[in-house]
């Protein structure tokens, strides 16, 4: 079967259970959001899927094969990529170099020591395409460290997309972005390739309701409920969690 | 082409120094050898961000290997360079399998430990290495069968200069190649490199191994030209001095490594000749001054001065 298939996933740190018995599917074309209060285990879940953490129990399958024992780099090469909550870009490199690097790695040219890094016409064309897609053309030769935060988030998105992933996990794509620039992120997410499987982990409900077609609510490491944005907006438990609980 | 200007300038400087200081050729050659060592450290630390204080281990491995090869197998200099490079790279690879799993202080301590272990092995294996007396009896054949080593050191100087030029060009090409870009990426953000599907561990081992090969070449050069390998080759002092030269000049830039070595060696030479007891004070003051005023090394002086001048005119830019 296509896509990502998670069954009975649990993660315990000593006596603390941060993920418990999670069943979760992500198919090509999906736009799912994972929401929940702080400490619900959202980041842990994404780290389990991407291979940064190893689960205590449960299985993770991708296109039908078990990927639970693969490390982060191996899963990226299979096509599971994520953006970071806090930007960890190559700050001292230019935007162009930030995009060139993942493409070189994707094309298995990272060990090349003959020829120039910018000497591959096809790769440079792809870099230009990405720059255009995210409206970063004017900033191409600026160092990432000199960009505004919203622009850095766009570079982050472009960089991850440069890997041509089939599953894309966006970990708080709008975190720290001033509300005046949030629309840049929303636009970029709406323009993602249609057949990409996208999971958005986000605090900003406004953004979630604009881009997600399915919402999964995580509370204390467990899935509380799952449904369309309309279902979730009408769900009494969720309203309690977000309104009654005084959160956000 | 513009990019050929600075290296050409450095070459001219070397030739000028050759004629200006004809009685100090041994000293000038020593500088050239150190340039190769500091360049190797620049690749490892400046580009890949691997904080090591044990570059002498790789240098010493190259020196002893080249020395022993010349005595027991073949005294051809160029063949000896390859042997030295191989020994340095091999030690870097094997020790790197452990070292590159660590970072920060742990890595620094372990890299020092590797050099200390090598020093102790060389010290104890007297029959092979000559122990504390050093490895003697190295008699090199002429370079390429044409240029015999002379006691003034003319051949040694030109030979070392040629090796510096080759190493510099190789590193310049490497730094522009995909591998060079990925090493800078690892320096900037290892987490991100892992997230784009790179095994940071193996990439770091690759960088360390190449750096080891170049450090080995520096050691081999030293063994061939001075015809002696001493335990000092593995000393902590050598690792530390190489690091100071690199920081003086500026990390992550090949010119920084060259400039830093030149400045350190000349100040050292001049201060030690004028005041044999307090020369370390001068070096210390120099390093402090550079670290405080030019934290990115001497190589960053021109842009820093430009910024200062501009800043004076347009307040606060």
A37: containing domain: 4-92+166-244
pLDDT of residue A114: 83
Question: What is the overall mean pLDDT for chain B?
Answer: 91
Residue A150 within any structural domain of the chain: no
Of B173, B188, B198, the CB nearest to A105: B198
Interchain pair A100, B181: CB under 8 A: yes
| Residue B67 DSSP SS3 | helix
Closest-CA distance, A132 to chain B, in angstroms, reads: 21
Whether A147 is covered by a domain: the verdict is no
From edge to edge, which strands make up the β-sheet containing A16-26?
A16-26, A4-13, A57-62, A65-66
Least confident of A171-185, A210-224, B116-130: A171-185
Q: Rounded mean pLDDT of B35-61? A: 96
Q: Do B176 and A116 touch (CB under 8 A)?
A: yes
The pLDDT tens digits for B235-270 are 999 999 999 999 999 998 899 999 999 999 999 999
In B46-137, which ranges are continuous DSSP H helix?
A: 55-72, 77-99, 104-124, 126-129
Q: Which residue in B173, B176, B179 is closest to A110 by CB distance?
A: B179
CB contact under 8 A, B181 and A115: no
- Average pLDDT value for residue range B59-87: 96
CATH number at residue A69: 3.40.50.300
Return the pLDDT at A184: 85
Contact between chains at A117 and B178 (C-beta distance less than 8 A): yes
In B, which residues are within 8 Å of A160 by CB distance?
195
At residue B33, does pLDDT exceed 70? yes
Q: Determine, yes or no, domain membership for A73.
A: yes
Of the residues B43, B48, B177, the best mutation for testing chain A's interface (the one with the most A CB atoms within 10 Å of its CB) is B177
Average pLDDT (B165-184) is 95
- How many Å apart are CA B229 and CA B235, to the nearest integer? 12
Which tens digit of pLDDT belongs to each residue from A103-114? 999 998 888 888
Say whether B192 and A90 touch across the interface (CB within 8 A): yes
* Prediction ipTM score: 0.83
In chain A, residues with a C-beta closer than 8 Å to the C-beta of B188 are 89-93
In a domain? residue A108: no
- Of B158, B89, B95, nearest to B121 by C-alpha is B95
Closest-CA distance, A100 to chain B, in angstroms, reads: 9
Tens of pLDDT along A184-216? 888 889 989 999 999 999 888 888 999 999 999
Comparing CA positions, the residue from A225, A157, A228, A234 lying closest to residue A196 is A157
Distance CA B186, CA A113 (A): 16
Q: How many CB atoms lie within 10 A of CB A59?
A: 13
Report pLDDT for B316. Answer: 38
* Whole-angstrom distance, CA of residue B206 vs CA of residue A184: 39
Q: Is the pLDDT of residue A2 over 50?
A: yes
Supply the mean pLDDT for chain A: 89
- pLDDT at residue A244 above 80? no
Mean pLDDT of all residues in A18-34: 93
Predicted confidence (pLDDT) at residue B206 exceeds the cutoff of 70: yes
Count of structural domains, chain A: 1
Q: What percent of chain B has a predicted confidence (pLDDT) above 70? A: 97
A→B interface, C-beta within 8 Å = 50, 72-74, 76-77, 81-82, 84, 88-93, 97, 100-102, 104-106, 109-117, 159-160, 163
Average pLDDT over residues A153-176: 91
Q: What is the pLDDT of residues B80-98, one digit of tens each?
A: 999 999 999 999 999 999 9
Kindly list the residues from chain B whose CB atom is less than 8 angstroms away from the CB atom of residue A100.
Answer: 181
| Tens-place pLDDT, residues A79-131 | 999 988 777 899 999 999 999 999 999 998 888 888 899 989 999 999 999 99
Q: Where are the domains of chain B?
A: 2-313
What does the pLDDT look like over B225-239, one tens digit per residue? Answer: 999 999 999 999 999
Between A113-117, B1-5, B21-25, B133-137, the lowest mean confidence (pLDDT) is in B1-5
CB contact under 8 A, A84 and B188: no
Q: Which chain A residues touch B176 with a CB distance below 8 Å?
A: 116-117
Is the pLDDT assigned to residue A35 strictly greater than 70?
yes
Q: Quote the CA–CA distance of B95 and B107 in Å, as a whole number.
A: 11
Cβ of residue B204 closer than 8 Å to a chain A Cβ: no
Distance in angstroms (rounded) separating the CA atoms of residues A111 and A99: 17
Worst-scoring range by mean pLDDT, A52-56, A183-187, B176-180?
A183-187
Does the pLDDT of residue A67 top 80, yes or no?
yes
């Amino acid at each position: 079967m296509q896509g990502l298939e998670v069954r009975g996933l649990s993660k315990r740190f000593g006596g603390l259970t941060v993920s418990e018995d999670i069943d979760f599917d992500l198919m090509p074309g999906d736009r799912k959001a994972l929401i929940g209060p702080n400490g619900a285990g959202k980041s842990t879940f994404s780290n389990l899927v991407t291979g940064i953490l190893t689960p205590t129990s449960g299985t993770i399958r991708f296109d039908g094969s078990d990927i639970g024992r693969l490390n982060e780099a191996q899963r990226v090469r299979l096509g599971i990529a994520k953006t970071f909550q806090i930007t960890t870009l190559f700050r001292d490199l230019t935007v162009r170099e930030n995009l060139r690097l993942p493409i070189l790695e994707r094309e298995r040219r990272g060990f090349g020591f003959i020829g120039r890094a910018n000497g591959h016409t096809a790769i440079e064309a792809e870099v230009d395409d990405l720059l255009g897609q995210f409206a970063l053309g004017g900033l191409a030769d600026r160092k990432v460290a000199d960009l505004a935060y919203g622009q850095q988030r766009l570079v982050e998105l472009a960089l991850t997309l440069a890997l041509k992933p089939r599953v894309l996990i966006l970990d708080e794509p709008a975190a720290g972005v001033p509300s005046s620039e949030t629309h840049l992120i929303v636009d970029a997410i709406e323009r993602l390739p249609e057949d990409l499987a996208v999971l958005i982990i986000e605090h900003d409900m406004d953004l979630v309701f604009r881009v997600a077609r399915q919402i999964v609510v995580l509370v204390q490491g467990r899935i509380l409920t799952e449904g369309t944005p309309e279902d979730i907006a009408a769900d009494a438990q969720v309203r309690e969690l977000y309104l009654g609980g005084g959160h956000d | 082409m513009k990019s050929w200007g600075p290296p050409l300038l450095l070459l001219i400087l070397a030739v000028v120094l050759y004629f200006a200081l004809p009685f100090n050729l041994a000293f000038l050659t020593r500088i050239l050898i150190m340039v190769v060592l500091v360049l190797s450290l620049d690749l490892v630390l400046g580009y890949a961000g691997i904080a090591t204080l044990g570059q002498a281990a790789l240098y010493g491995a190259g020196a002893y290997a080249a020395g022993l090869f010349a005595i027991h197998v073949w005294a051809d200099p160029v063949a000896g360079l390859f042997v030295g490079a191989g020994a340095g790279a091999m030690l870097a690879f094997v020790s790197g399998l452990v070292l590159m799993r660590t970072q920060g202080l742990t890595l620094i301590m372990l890299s020092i430990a590797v050099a200390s272990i090598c020093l102790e092995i060389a010290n104890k294996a007297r029959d092979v290495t000559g122990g504390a007396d050093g490895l003697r009896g190295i008699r090199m054949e002429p370079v390429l069968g044409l240029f015999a080593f002379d006691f003034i050191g003319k051949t040694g100087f030109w030979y070392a200069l040629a090796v510096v030029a080759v190493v510099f060009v190789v590193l310049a090409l490497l730094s522009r190649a995909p591998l060079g870009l990925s090493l800078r990426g690892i320096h900037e953000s290892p987490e991100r490199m892992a997230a784009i599907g790179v095994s940071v561990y193996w990439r770091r081992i690759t960088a360390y191994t190449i750096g080891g090969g170049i450090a080995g070449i520096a050691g081999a050069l030293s063994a061939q030209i001075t015809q002696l390998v001493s335990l000092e080759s593995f000393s902590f002092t050598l690792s530390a001095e190489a690091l100071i030269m690199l920081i003086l000049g500026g990390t992550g830039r090949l010119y920084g490594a060259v400039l830093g070595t030149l400045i350190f060696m000349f100040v050292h030479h001049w201060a030690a000749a004028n005041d044999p007891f307090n020369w370390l004070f001068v070096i210390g003051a120099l390093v402090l001054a550079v670290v405080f005023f030019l934290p990115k090394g001497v190589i960053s002086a021109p842009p820093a001065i430009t910024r200062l001048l501009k800043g004076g005119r347009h307040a606060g830019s």
